[in-house]
Amino acid sequence: MPLLAEKLWKRGTGFLGVKYPIMAGAMTWISNFELAKAISDNGAFPILAGGNMDPSLFEKEVDKFSAQLKTPFAVNLITIAPNFRKQYEILLSKKVEFVIFAGNFPKKHDVEGMKKAGKKTLSFASSGQISDQMIRFGIDALILEGNEAGGHIGYVSTMILLQQILFKTKEVPVFIAGGIGTGKMIAHMLLMGAAGVQLGTRFVVSEECTAHPNFKQAFIRAKARYAISTPQYDSRLPVVAVRSLKNKGMEAFGKLQLELLKKLENGEISREEAQFEVERYWVGGLRKAAVEGDIEAGSLMAGQSVGLVHKIQPMKEIIDELIQDTEKELQAVKANICSQ
């Protein structure tokens, strides 16, 4: 029994309503029902990735999660996705307890709308100023995701966010993401005051994950330094940085930015349309890699914790290992302190 861990993660489990306060990061084309069920069945917290899913398919997936999962789950909405508003409106009337705003920071009315619909809201925070703003907006919990994470990321590391936000925030539960792949690290996040953690990359290499075998093997072969973030070429085209394994797909994104900037200069496209093109690129690139197995031209979104994954395992084995190592590390810390 993880006795020490249970004391430290009580706020997180109470908020999420699950056995373990381990959230599964939302990954487009990957965070589907099969992965969610495996996570739910093993006591952790599943998340449905809205991505830029077609509204009709989105509604079907939400209904499937609601009908068949036995534990609470969240729906992750990307605020900068072209279909965000339609997904938002659909979700208002659904019996989903948690909503996570991602991609960019939600507007106050978006937070208030979901809360009025009886849902608990979570948002990412990339600075102390943003976390304060989210709390003023009424957000129910924060996720601090350092730029070590995969997919859409901010520009600040987990190490700094811990000091800027976690140590100072008491009003709402704070969950930590970015660079976490082991139970030992979970233990130290709890000791610092985190309510729980979020992992994504580690769950991609579970047996239950339906991502293409080529996609999983690319993760297993990769070193931490292979997961790099995309640059923004020009402030006229604001893009949310994406961390992915370096391949031809990453190089193609650079060319896309240059093409879109040229169209902006010539007045052929608006800034909003250009940003939508960027999101369409990543959604399509992810499908190409995660579903079709094209790991050269597709997008291999992965966090730097990819350097910590070395084999494909059943979800139960992954979760059990995380929990056991969390408790073992907490007991080791306790013994070390008491021996001084």
pLDDT tens per residue, range 173-229 = 999 999 999 999 999 999 999 999 999 999 999 999 999 999 999 999 999 999 999
Other C-beta atoms closer than 10 Å to the C-beta of 118 total 10
Q: Count how many residues are written for the chain.
A: 340
Which of 80, 133, 90, 131 is closest to 114 using CA atoms?
90
- Is 339's pLDDT higher than 90? no
For the purposes of burial, counting CB atoms within 10 Å of the CB of 68, is it exposed (0-12), middle (13-18) or buried (19 or more)?
A: exposed
Supply angle C-alpha 176, 179, 182, rounded to 5: 90
Alpha-carbon distance 119 to 72, whole Å? Answer: 12
Question: Which residue(s) pair with 99 in the sheet?
Answer: 75, 121
pLDDT attached to residue 87:
97
Express each pLDDT in 161-176 by its tens digit. 999 999 999 999 999 9
Average of per-residue pLDDT values in the chain = 93
Question: Which residue(s) pair with 252 in the sheet?
Answer: none
Which part of the chain has CATH 3.20.20.70?
Answer: 3-211+307-331
Express each pLDDT in 121-177 by its tens digit. 999 998 889 999 999 999 999 999 999 999 888 889 999 999 999 999 999 999 999
Reported pTM: 0.93
Alpha-carbon distance 287 to 295, whole Å? Answer: 10
- Is 1's pLDDT higher than 70? no
pLDDT attached to residue 245:
95
Q: Domain 3-211+307-331 - what CATH class?
A: alpha beta
Alpha-carbon distance 199 to 35, whole Å? Answer: 13
The SS3 assignment for 7 reads helix
